[in-house]
Structure 1
Amino acid sequence: MLQYYFLLGVRNLRRNPALTALMVLILAVGVAASVSTLTILHMMSGNPIPHKSERLLVPMVDNAPTEGYTAGDERNDDQLSYRDAANFLASKLGDRRTAIFGVGGTVEPARKDMNVFNVGGLANTHDFFTMFEVPFLHGQPWSEKEDAANADVVVLSRQLAEKLYGEANPVGQRLMLLGFPYQIVGVADTWNPVPRYHRLVGGSGAFGEADEFFIPVASAIRHEASFNGSMNCSKGRDPGFQALLDSECTWIQFWFEMHDAGGRADLQNYLDAYAAEQRKLGRLQRAAPNTVYNVMEWLEQQKVVGNDSRVSVWLAFGFLLLCLVNTIGLLLAKFSVRAAEVGVRRALGASRREIFHQFLIESAVVGLAGGVLGLLLSLGALTLIGQSSDQLKVVAHMDWSMLLTTFAMAVGAAILAGLLPTWRACLVTPALQLKSQ
C-alpha cells in the first residue's frame, strides 16, 4: 500500500505543475541555505582524528613575567619557549613527543629550467608523522637516531616533490633547501587535516594550505633556519639566534601522545612537578595553573569555530522555517481542491488513517523532489563559497553524512509541513461532498 501511495503521489505532482514546482523550489531553497551553512560548520567543528583525539595532548605552562599579573588572569599565549620545549622532549613522557615550529626559505632546484623559489614548512621530530598519521607516497620518516644526530634530512610534500621531480621517486637525492644540502628520505602523500589542529597558532591557520616540507627540529636549530610563524617576547630579548633560544620568548608548539586517555593525569602531574622545579630555578614565577588540552579542547580553546558561524546556521534554519510556513500554505491550497476526491474515497470505505497516509506520503514525495533540487543548489552554493577564498575552499565541500542529511532534512521538512494540510483533508465529510457533486 505504501508503494501504491508513493506512485500515486508521484502522479499527483503533475496535477498542478505550477503549484508543485513552486513548493519544490521554496523547499529546495530553504534546504540549500541550511545545508550549506551547516556543512561548513560541520567541517569546521568536526573531530579531525576521532580515534585518538583523547590521547593527543597539548601542554601549557605560563612563563610570562609577573609584572601586571593578577592571579586568575587568563593566559594570552599558546606556545612554549625553546627551553620548555627542549625539556619536554627530553622527558621521555608518553609514547611520542614532538615540538613544532614553522620554517621558511628557498629551494634551489637541480633542474636548469627552474629558478630558485620560496617554500614554507615545519620543523618537528620523527614522532610527528606517526602521531598525526601522515601518509607516505615514497620512503618513510627519518629515525630517532637521525633526530639525535642533527641529520640534514627532509620529507617533502607530494605537491613539492611533483613540482621538483615530476612522478619520479626522489628518495635518496639531495636538495639544496634553506641554503644547505638535505637528503630526501620520504615524500608525504596529500595530507592537510581539517582543521589543521596540529598547528593552529601561527602559520596558515586552521584552514590554510598544507606544509611543503618537514625537517628535524635539531637541524633547523643548528642551521638557524628562518622562523615562520608567531612569536611572543613579553620580556624582550637580545639580538641573535642563541639569544632567542635562551630567552623566554614563546614560539614553539608541543604535543604529547599518551598510551591511553588515562595518561592525561600523568602529564598533568608531570607539568605541575616541572613548574615547581623551574620556580626554584627562578622561572615560571607567575605560579599560574598548568593546563592540558586534548584535540577537541584545543580547537575550542583556539576558537576555531567562531560565534558568527553558529549564528549563520541559526539564521539559515530560520529561513528554512519561513520556507516551511509558505509550503504549508501551498499544501493547504493543493489539498483543499481535492476535497471531492477525499469524499468519494471515504464513501467507498477508505478510513481517515488511509487518507492521512496517502496525503502525508504525497508530501514526502514533494520533499524528495525538493531534496534533489536542494542538493544541487547546495553543491552550487558550496562551490561559489569555496571560490571566494582559499581557506573556505578547504571546508566548503560535502561528505556522505551531509549528503544524507540533505535528503533527510528535505523529506522531514515536507512531512512536517504536510501535517496540518493532511489533517485538514482527513476532516472532510463524505456526505457533504457527495451532495455537492
Structure 2
Amino acid sequence: MLIGYYFKLAWLSLKKTPLLSILMIGTIAMGIAATMITSTVSIMMAQDPLPEKSERVFSVRLSSWSPDKAYQLAKGEEVIPPMLTYMDTMNLLEDSKGLRQSAAVMYKSMVRSESQTDKEAKMLRFNSVNNDFFTMFNVPFLYGAPWSDQADREGAALVILDRQTNDRLFSGANSVGQHVYIGKHLARIVGVIDSWSPLPQVFHGPHHAHNLPFPLFTPFQFQVNNNLLSKGEMGWQCWAPLGDGTLETFLASECVWIRYWVELEAAMHRGDYMDYINAYVEEQKRGGRFARENLSKIFNINESLIEDHVVEDDDFIAVWLAAAFLVACLLNCMGLMLIKFYGKGAEVGLRRAVGASKQHIALQFGCETVLIGILGGFLGLALAQLGLRITADIFAHLPAGLMQMSFPLVVMTVVLAVLCSTLFGLWPIYRAAQTQPSAQLKSL
C-alpha cells in the first residue's frame, strides 16, 4: 500500500511540473531510442545465421593463387582467395570427405512459366548449388525436396523456387512437376522452399550478406553445362590469361569463382578435415600447381563473417557512441531531477517535521524516478520503433526483419530506462533525503 501511495504522489508531482517532467522523460526517451536503434541494427547484422550448427559448417579456402604475386595484401599480410577454381571444387566434391559439401555460385537469367510469353519473363537471380546445400543450411521446404545425387552429377535441368516466386507464377499451388523456362532451357520444378531469410546470408560472400537469398536454385553442374556464366555477376578473378576464352579453357583455368562449403559431423573433426586439405594441397604441388606457401584454411560460419569483413569491431563503434549519448542524456536528466527535488525542499522539510524518516523520503523520490524511467522507456520504445521504420524505408533493399526489435530487446528497452533513471536519480534522491527540517521550516 505504501508503494502505491508513493507512486500516486509521484504522478501528482509530475503533473505539478509538466514542463520539467516532459523534459526529463523526453531526455531519457531520446537516449534510450538512439541506443536501441543502433543496438538492434548492429545485433541483427552480426547475429549467427545458423546457430545450431555454425561451429561445424566451414568455408574452404585454398592457396591456389599466382606463384609470382599474392592474391592481395591486407595489413601487409597475404590473403587466401575466398573462392576456389572449378578443378579444385570438382576434386573436393569427388572426394566427399565431409558429412555434406556444396559449391555455391550465383547467376541470373530470364524466367517464365510455360504459360507465359517471352515478354512476361523476368530477370531473376539463381543460387547454383549441390543438393547437400539445403540440408547443410537448414532450408525449409513447402513442397517437394532437393534433387538427387545423380541429378547433381549430370547437371539436370531442375529448379527449386522460393515461396514468393511460386506465388507469382503458380498462385501458391503445389508446382512440383511443373516447368519453367530458364532463358531458353526448360527446367522441371522439384521443390518450393518456405519462407527463409538467414541473416547475415553467409554463403555468397560479403556483398550479399544482408540481402534476402536469391529466389531460385539449380544444380551447380546445370549452370556449368549450359554456360550460364557471367563475370559481372559472379565476379571471378584470374591470375593467368584465359587463352581462347572457351568454356573448356575457363573450367581448366586457375580462375577462382566458386565458394565451397562443407559440413562436418562434429566441430572436433575440424583438425582431421584440415589434414585432408593440407594433403590435397601437397598433392597439387607435386602436380605443378599451388606454387605459393600453403596458407589454406577452413573457417566456420562466424569466422567466415569476420574473415569477409561482414562483422567487424568497427560495427560496434556506433553502439558505443549511442551509449555515450545515453549517458549524456541521463546526466542532463539527473541535473533536472536535482532542480526538481531541490524545489520541493519545503515539502520535504514539512514531512520530516511530522515524522517522515530519510528512508521514507528516499522511497518517495525513488518511486518518482522509477515512474520517470517507465514513461521514458515506453516513449523511447515508440521512438525506437519509429526510427527503425524510417531506417527500413531508407534502406529498402535490406530485409525487413533486419530492422525489427526482438521481444527481449523490447523488454530490455523499458528495463534499461528504469535502471538508468534510478541509477542516475540516486544522487538527487540522496540530496533530497538529507534535507534538514529546521532549515526548511524557517523559510516557510
Match of 2:48 in 1: 47
Deviations 1:349-383 (A, max 9, x none): 33323322321221111011011111111111111
Alpha-carbon distance in structure 1 between the residues aligned to 2:423 and 2:397: 36
Alpha-carbon distance in structure 2 between the residues aligned to 1:334 and 1:69: 66
Alpha-carbon distance in structure 2 between the residues aligned to 1:411 and 1:318: 17
Correspondent of 2:424 among 404, 409, 417: 417
Alpha-carbon distance in structure 2 between the residues aligned to 1:284 and 1:433: 87
Alpha-carbon distance in structure 1 between the residues aligned to 2:3 and 2:52: 41
Match of 1:309 in 2: 315
Alpha-carbon distance in structure 2 between the residues aligned to 1:341 and 1:289: 75
Alignment of 1:180-191 (within 5 A): 180-191=185-196
Q: Aligned AA for 1:36?
A: I
Alignment of 1:126-275 (within 5 A): 126-201=131-206, 205-227=208-230, 228-238=233-243, 239-275=245-281
Residue 334 (str. 1) matches residue 337 (str. 2): no
Q: Aligned AA for 2:81?
A: D
Match of 1:124 in 2: 129
Deviations 1:152-190 (A, max 9, x none): 211001111111111221111111113211110111112
Alpha-carbon distance in structure 1 between the residues aligned to 2:300 and 2:363: 49
Alpha-carbon distance in structure 2 between the residues aligned to 1:138 and 1:250: 34
Q: Aligned AA for 2:426?
A: L
Q: Could you say what secondary structure the match of 1:9 adopts?
A: helix
Correspondent of 1:371 among 377, 381, 384: 377
Displacement of 1:391 after TM fit?
4.0
Q: 1:8 to 1:139 in 2, by over 3 A?
A: farther
Whether contact under 8 Å (1:104, 1:178) holds in the other structure is no
Alpha-carbon distance in structure 2 between the residues aligned to 1:316 and 1:36: 9
Residue 347 (str. 1) matches residue 353 (str. 2): yes
Whether contact under 8 Å (2:306, 2:312) holds in the other structure is no
Match of 1:108 in 2: 112
Displacement of 1:24 after TM fit?
0.8
Displacement of 1:233 after TM fit?
0.6
TM superposition score normalised by structure 1: 0.94
Q: 1:210 to 1:426 in 2, by over 3 A?
A: same
Match of 2:32 in 1: 31
Correspondent of 2:296 among 290, 293, 309: 290
Q: Could you say what secondary structure the match of 2:280 adopts?
A: helix
Q: 1:200 to 1:401 in 2, by over 3 A?
A: farther
Whether contact under 8 Å (1:41, 1:305) holds in the other structure is no
Whether contact under 8 Å (1:154, 1:184) holds in the other structure is yes
Displacement of 1:401 after TM fit?
2.4
Displacement of 1:257 after TM fit?
0.8
Whether contact under 8 Å (1:64, 1:235) holds in the other structure is no
Q: Aligned AA for 1:171?
A: V
Alpha-carbon distance in structure 2 between the residues aligned to 1:8 and 1:265: 66
Q: Aligned AA for 1:300?
A: I
Count of aligned positions:
435
Alpha-carbon distance in structure 2 between the residues aligned to 1:435 and 1:67: 91
The root-mean-square deviation of aligned C-alpha atoms, in Å, is 2.0
Whether contact under 8 Å (2:206, 2:309) holds in the other structure is no
Displacement of 1:278 after TM fit?
1.0
Displacement of 1:308 after TM fit?
5.2
Match of 1:16 in 2: 17
Q: 1:235 to 1:73 in 2, by over 3 A?
A: farther
Whether contact under 8 Å (2:61, 2:80) holds in the other structure is no
Whether contact under 8 Å (1:78, 1:201) holds in the other structure is no
Q: Aligned AA for 2:366?
A: L
Q: Aligned AA for 1:384?
A: I
Displacement of 1:346 after TM fit?
2.7
Alpha-carbon distance in structure 1 between the residues aligned to 2:69 and 2:258: 24
Residue 93 (str. 1) matches residue 97 (str. 2): yes
Q: Which runs of 5+ in 1 are unaligned?
A: none
Whether contact under 8 Å (2:108, 2:123) holds in the other structure is yes
Q: Could you say what secondary structure the match of 2:120 adopts?
A: coil
Which range is displaced more, 341-350 or 314-323? 341-350
Q: Aligned AA for 1:217?
A: F
**Kindly, what percent of the aligned residue pairs are identical?**
34
Alpha-carbon distance in structure 1 between the residues aligned to 2:80 and 2:394: 31
Displacement of 1:270 after TM fit?
1.1
Alpha-carbon distance in structure 2 between the residues aligned to 1:15 and 1:352: 23
Which range is displaced more, 301-310 or 224-233? 301-310
Correspondent of 1:381 among 387, 392, 395: 387
Displacement of 1:76 after TM fit?
5.4
Match of 1:83 in 2: 87
Alpha-carbon distance in structure 1 between the residues aligned to 2:422 and 2:323: 16
Q: 1:321 to 1:221 in 2, by over 3 A?
A: same
Correspondent of 2:406 among 399, 423, 432: 399
Q: Could you say what secondary structure the match of 2:97 adopts?
A: coil
Q: Could you say what secondary structure the match of 1:103 adopts?
A: strand
Alpha-carbon distance in structure 1 between the residues aligned to 2:206 and 2:190: 28
Whether contact under 8 Å (2:80, 2:296) holds in the other structure is no
Q: Could you say what secondary structure the match of 1:282 adopts?
A: coil
Displacement of 1:307 after TM fit?
5.5
Q: 1:69 to 1:116 in 2, by over 3 A?
A: closer
Whether contact under 8 Å (1:201, 1:230) holds in the other structure is no
Displacement of 1:302 after TM fit?
1.1
Q: 1:284 to 1:3 in 2, by over 3 A?
A: farther
